[in-house]
Chain A
Amino acid sequence: MTTTSVDEIVPSKSSLTAGQLPRWTPLAVGGGALVVSALVMLLIGFNLPGWIVIAWLLFVPSMFVATRAVEGHQAGVDRLWTVLVYSAFALALLPLVSIVVEVLTQGLPGVVDPGFFTNTMQYATSLTDQQAVEAGTDIKGGILHAVVGSLLVTLAATVISVPIGLLTSIYLVEYGRDGWLSRAIVFFVDVMTGIPSIVAGLFGAALLLTLVGPQDNLMGFTAACALSVLMIPVVVRSTTEMLRVVPNELREASYALGVRKSLTILKVVIPTAISGIASGVTLAIARVIGETAPILVTAGVATRLNANLFSDWMMTLPVFIYRQLQNPTAPAAPGPSLERAWGAALVLIVIVMVLNLASRMIARAFAPKKTGR
């Protein structure tokens, strides 16, 4: 972009480059700061984080002072902020990279356990876990029930949310215009966006408690209802955006051909916006498939495969991770549980990433063709 050229320094001596610090200045100052910091560390006992923190604390003001002295105040301030912006980026990379690395290194051993994808936790007991630790036998137990549960609950939530969300968006964009009802809906959809996921879970539990009574209300469908509360506002928001950007000219072209409003919406507006809508829905799915709290209080936990959304407790991947960490199968030997938790975390992340990438690809692949000459 245009701004990068500001920094570029032409090697030849000219009036434009006179009085500037050479390009290697940051490297030199950085090296100096590291050396000074190392000396300080030698005095008080060396440790890596301390070394880097002190070096950084030296580096920032030195860069500012050096630039200011040579190039003037304006350039000094600019340099200071440049350093701070780069630092923020580097600082943020640490935890984010660490998460990815941890999930990969800790998760891979769990994933390659035999039967990790084909078994449930039904026959994995504290005994088998202890054996695995003491005798080095294979770690038993897998995530099949959790994967099935996650897919079913998310599917059910999608089936509930997408029609409601889509139709509501159509109402907001095509019918409601700016009436009080549509303003009320927009307002409350925003409110819904802010509902904490655990509160959505409580609502699901309370709703089904009223409908089917205590204990019976703990089932996959309850979790799906709770997730819908979280998913509907996401779908409404993204779909509304997408319908809004469909040019009015297309609607008018369709009306002018004597096409009814409902058919115009179904056959012109929605097909034009479909890539954006699908991509938004995929993102919403990716978001709710990772939700833990609402499922914990609605579908409970299970160790066996349960493919019936309408009865009995059901396991999902996030809750599986939570339970394996919080209540290890063998409290005396939590290692295998931890391994399974990391393995499940890896699987969950892969699912979420695939959904995110799919969303991008959908947006790109089905976007209306701009050229075709």
Chain B
Amino acid sequence: MSTQTRGSMVAQSTETQVETQPPAPRSRDNAAGRMGDKVFAGICLGAGILILVVLAGVAAFLLRDAVPAILASPEELGRETSFWGYVWPLVVGTLIASGIAIVVATPVAIGIALFISHYAPKRLSQPLGYMIDLLAAIPSVVYGLWGATFFGPLLVPMYAWLAENASFIPIFGPTYSAAGRTLLTASLVLAVMILPIVTSLSRELFLQTPKLHEEAALALGATRWEMIKAAVFPFARAGVISAIMLGLGRALGETMAVTLVLSQGPLTANLLNAGNSTIPAEIALNFPEAFGLRQSELIAAGLVLFVITLVVNMLARAIVSRYKEFSGAN
């Protein structure tokens, strides 16, 4: 494709380079130039259509490979249940992990974003912003490594305490993992992972709040918090919601942090012990060795994950477009 672009430009320049006499060289391109314009427009259009084709391809390939497993009987799959019986515990595990992550991360992320945008001294806020951006770029496998070898073991005393004193709540105990490789650890690692993402998007929005609105609030004698409530939040609401949804989407699809941290097992309510799994972790652990119907089953699970993230993204878009009219943003 790049050669075609070049081709069209060559056609033009050979047309036009010759005449170099005063008064002024004038482009003599007509047919070739017009053609070049059309070719270029066509190439750009082609690239756009290619994206649609690729996405259609993603859907088609996944469907094609997933259907055999979805239709297969329990005997063919070699387990007691059909595909849906296999996948729903994974779906629940995925939703629990990302749910905890987003609930933990959101208030903290908004707090940091506010700190950077409105509370920190001006000369600190820019370096802090850079730092958060850099943290957002740390690869997930590093978070997984940190969670499995450092953070998980660190949490074990807390798990022990919870299992001892709070096991009347079913999610805490009564047993706990001595290595800290639990769904709760995985969820907290996910929370740490999405923290910089949500923070960095929210901070951008908070900083974009019109100065005029802020000063209007302050001039009326509002405290800093009242100013934030009156001017900053209404302006940024839609964007922050979409940032949270983006973080949720990230958490849902996140593979490595969970795979490395969690010691997988069947679905259980106890978040303090090994057990539970998520779709991405299940695929990553089993796909390299899978073949035949098992591979198809994993691809079908991937398709389910895709549908879930798609729904989350659509929801985010719907919310954003509903709020957009009121926020005055963009």
Task: A27 to B2: give the CA distance in the assembly, Å.
Answer: 64
Residues of B within 8 A of A106 (CB): 149
B111-A353 in contact (CB<8A): no
A371 at the interface (CB under 8 A from B): no
Given contacts A74-B223, A206-B62, contact A290 B52 (CB under 8 A): no
Task: A162 to B50: give the CA distance in the assembly, Å.
Answer: 13
A42 at the interface (CB under 8 A from B): no
B256-A322 in contact (CB<8A): yes
A2 at the interface (CB under 8 A from B): yes
Task: A3 to B29: give the CA distance in the assembly, Å.
Answer: 61
State how many angstroms separate the Cβ of B156 from the closest Cβ of chain A.
Answer: 12
A356-B115 in contact (CB<8A): no
Contact with A along B35-57 (1 / 0, CB 8 A): 01101110111111111101101
Which residues of A in the span 214-238 have a Cβ within 8 Å of any Cβ on B? 214, 229, 232, 236
B141 at the interface (CB under 8 A from A): yes
Task: A168 to B252: give the CA distance in the assembly, Å.
Answer: 28
A305 at the interface (CB under 8 A from B): no
A260 at the interface (CB under 8 A from B): yes
A29 at the interface (CB under 8 A from B): no
Residue of B nearest to A171 (CB): B44
> Using a Cβ cutoff of 8 Å, how many contacts connect chains A and B?
291
Residue of B nearest to A321 (CB): B141
Q: Is the interface of A mostly helix, strand, loop or mixed?
A: helix
Contact with A along B119-148 (1 / 0, CB 8 A): 111100000001001110111111111101
A156 at the interface (CB under 8 A from B): no
A102-B150 in contact (CB<8A): yes
Given contacts A206-B299, A232-B54, A292-B255, contact A99 B225 (CB under 8 A): no
Given contacts A188-B52, A293-B280, A322-B256, contact A352 B65 (CB under 8 A): no
- Within 8 Å by CB of B58, from A184, A197, A203, lies A203
A96-B135 in contact (CB<8A): yes
Residues of A within 8 A of B287 (CB): 202, 205, 296-297
Residues of A within 8 A of B118 (CB): 1, 3
A91 at the interface (CB under 8 A from B): yes
Task: A93 to B317: give the CA distance in the assembly, Å.
Answer: 31
Task: A261 to B58: give the CA distance in the assembly, Å.
Answer: 34
B177 at the interface (CB under 8 A from A): no
B48-A3 in contact (CB<8A): no
Given contacts A3-B227, A88-B107, A171-B44, contact A293 B52 (CB under 8 A): no
Residue of B nearest to A170 (CB): B44
Residue of B nearest to A341 (CB): B145
Residues of B within 8 A of A175 (CB): 41, 44-45
A32 at the interface (CB under 8 A from B): no
Residues of B within 8 A of A87 (CB): 111
A103-B253 in contact (CB<8A): no
Task: A197 to B249: give the CA distance in the assembly, Å.
Answer: 11
Residues of A within 8 A of B58 (CB): 195, 199-200, 203, 229
Stretch at the interface among B74-82, B265-273, B305-313: B305-313
Contact with A along B75-114 (1 / 0, CB 8 A): 0000000000000000000000000000000011111101
Task: A287 to B133: give the CA distance in the assembly, Å.
Answer: 12
- Within 8 Å by CB of B195, from A81, A92, A286, lies A92
Task: A49 to B161: give the CA distance in the assembly, Å.
Answer: 13
A78-B138 in contact (CB<8A): no
Residues of B within 8 A of A84 (CB): 111
Given contacts A190-B317, A236-B51, contact A92 B108 (CB under 8 A): yes
Residues of A within 8 A of B260 (CB): 322, 325-326
A297-B48 in contact (CB<8A): no
- Within 8 Å by CB of A203, from B57, B150, B317, lies B57
- Within 8 Å by CB of B143, from A99, A202, A301, lies A99
Residue of A nearest to B8 (CB): A262
- Within 8 Å by CB of A196, from B109, B116, B280, lies B280
Task: A325 to B148: give the CA distance in the assembly, Å.
Answer: 9
A349 at the interface (CB under 8 A from B): yes
Task: A224 to B146: give the CA distance in the assembly, Å.
Answer: 27
A198 at the interface (CB under 8 A from B): yes
A75 at the interface (CB under 8 A from B): yes
Residues of B within 8 A of A168 (CB): 44, 47-48, 50-51
Task: A348 to B146: give the CA distance in the assembly, Å.
Answer: 14
| Residue in A3, A6, A293 with the greatest tally of chain B CB atoms within 10 Å | A293
B309-A196 in contact (CB<8A): yes
B31 at the interface (CB under 8 A from A): no
B196 at the interface (CB under 8 A from A): yes
B321 at the interface (CB under 8 A from A): no
Task: A206 to B130: give the CA distance in the assembly, Å.
Answer: 39
Residue of A nearest to B290 (CB): A297
| Residue in B9, B33, B48, B284 with the greatest tally of chain A CB atoms within 10 Å | B48
B224 at the interface (CB under 8 A from A): yes
B275 at the interface (CB under 8 A from A): no
Residues of A within 8 A of B195 (CB): 92, 95-96
5 residue pairs A–B, Cβ–Cβ below 8 Å: A86-B115, A92-B108, A185-B51, A195-B306, A286-B137
The 4 A-B residue pairs with the shortest CB-CB distance in the complex, in nearest-first order:
A88-B111, A196-B253, A290-B139, A167-B47
Residues on B lying within 8 angstroms of A by beta carbon are: 1-2, 8-9, 12, 27, 29, 33-34, 36-37, 39-41, 43-52, 54-55, 57-58, 61-62, 64-65, 107-112, 114-116, 118-122, 130, 133-135, 137-146, 148-151, 157-158, 192, 195-196, 199, 214-215, 218, 223-228, 249, 252-256, 259-260, 280, 283-284, 287-288, 291, 298-299, 302-303, 305-306, 309-310, 312-313, 317
